[in-house]
Amino acid sequence: MITAYIDFKSLECFLAINPILKLAAVCRTPISWQPYRSKERALPTQVASQSVTQTHHRVRAESERRSQQHYARLRGLDIDPSRGQMDTSAALRWLASLEGDTSSFVSRLFAAHWIDHTDINDPAFLEALTASHGLTRMRSTVDLDSIEREAEENGLFDAPTFFIEGQMFMGRAHIPLMRQLLTDEGDC
């Protein structure tokens, strides 16, 4: 089982979806999709000058955005970076309320957000998508704060983060290591 913590507004999560789905299919391993609202990284605090800290944060964030845009272009995706600033909490709560295999639902929701520019927090859209994927909504209210607190107690601090057999993998760069672990466990 792969437990995947995601946020629909995270371009890094969107870029990880297809490789994780492929890994799960090849290894015949189910995925448990869990919500986690990605947060702005805290500024480093132990530097002599606040302007140095702010410059470091700005340069690092811009470098990450350029890298993500590069990988999106390599996949033929035209990405609007402003989509990463939108609150997707309602869609994340909805995901947490579903039972069953939600992989195709998650994949479609990412595409709706990043490619189609759909309001994925719209309850009518979420209802229709849920029905079209044959899923059932089990709860009407979900406490994202509790889900996130529990995940953070296990070491999670950003999305995408994946857990396999209690081991944590932060980001899509670790997918080859995840494949190796699943291969060693005999799942692949």
Q: Which of 106, 104, 96, 107 is nearest to 137 (CA)?
A: 96
Range of the structural domain that residue 163 is part of: 2-40+86-184
- pLDDT, tens digit, for every residue of 54-64? 776 677 767 67
What is the pairing mode between strands 31-35 and 2-6?
Answer: parallel
Q: 79 lies in a domain?
A: no
Q: 60 lies in a domain?
A: no
pTM of the model: 0.81
Q: 7 lies in a domain?
A: yes
Q: Which helix (H) or strand (E) holds 136?
A: strand 136-137
- pLDDT, tens digit, for every residue of 82-132? 888 899 999 999 999 999 999 999 999 999 999 999 999 999 999 999 999
Q: Which of 127, 128, 62, 118 is nearest to 86 (CA)?
A: 118
What are the CA-CA distances from residue 6 to residues 48, 56, 65, 119, 144 (Å)?
Answer: 35, 26, 18, 17, 12
Q: Is 6 exposed, middle or buried (0-12, 13-18, 19+ CB in 10 A)?
A: buried
Q: How many domains does the chain contain in total?
A: 1
- How many residues are recorded in the chain? 188
Q: 124 lies in a domain?
A: yes
Q: What integer pLDDT is reported at residue 39 of this predicted model?
A: 75
Per-residue confidence band for 43, with pLDDT thresholds at 50, 70 and 90? very low
- pLDDT, tens digit, for every residue of 127-160? 999 999 999 998 778 899 999 999 999 888 889 9
Q: 168 lies in a domain?
A: yes
Give the domain CATH number at 178: 3.40.30.10
Q: 59 lies in a domain?
A: no
Q: 146 lies in a domain?
A: yes
Q: 68 lies in a domain?
A: no
